[in-house]
Every structure is written in C-alpha cells, then in structure tokens.
Amino acid sequence: MLWFGLALLGRHGLNGVVAQHAPGYPNMGQINLYIVWPLFVVAALLACAWLSNAFGKWPFALGLLSGASLLVILPYLAVWGGGV
C-alpha cells in the first residue's frame, strides 16, 4: 500500500506541474520516478503474491520481495524528496 500511495501522490504532484503550464515539465524522467516505478513495484508484489498463492511453492519469495521493497523505499524517498 505504501508504494501505491506514493504513485497516487506522484500523480497528484505531476498534475500540479501540468497545471502551471511550465514548458518541458513534467519530463519523462519525472513521470518514471513518480508514477511508473511505484506502480512497477506494486505490480511485482501483486504478481508474486498471485503466483505464490496459485502454485503454493516458495512462499518465502513473497516475504523476500516484500522485505526488499521496504528496504528500497528509503533510498527511493531520498531521491523523491530531492536528495540529501
């Protein structure tokens, strides 16, 4: 849910940039960072949950992917917020 929430916040933020009619913004890098990457993580987690549920093999894979997504969120937020 954290990653989906970040995608929603990113979409809301990019809508604000579009409303300002700034030339060249939002660019593709911003769209990838604020919308595409969080939705990719959500899709990967949902696909792993579905596969783990459907086949019943390797249930730890979902735990590993979930843990990795939580570890990656801190560096992602550092970039998302403008860095250190």
- Residue 9 is inside which H or E element, if any? helix 2-19
- The model carries a pTM of 0.85
Mean pLDDT within 27-41: 94
pLDDT of 8 over the 90 cut: yes
Angle at which helix 37-55 crosses helix 2-19, to 10 degrees, equals 150
The count of domains in the chain is 1
Domain coverage including residue 60: 2-80
Q: Whole-number mean pLDDT of the chain? A: 89
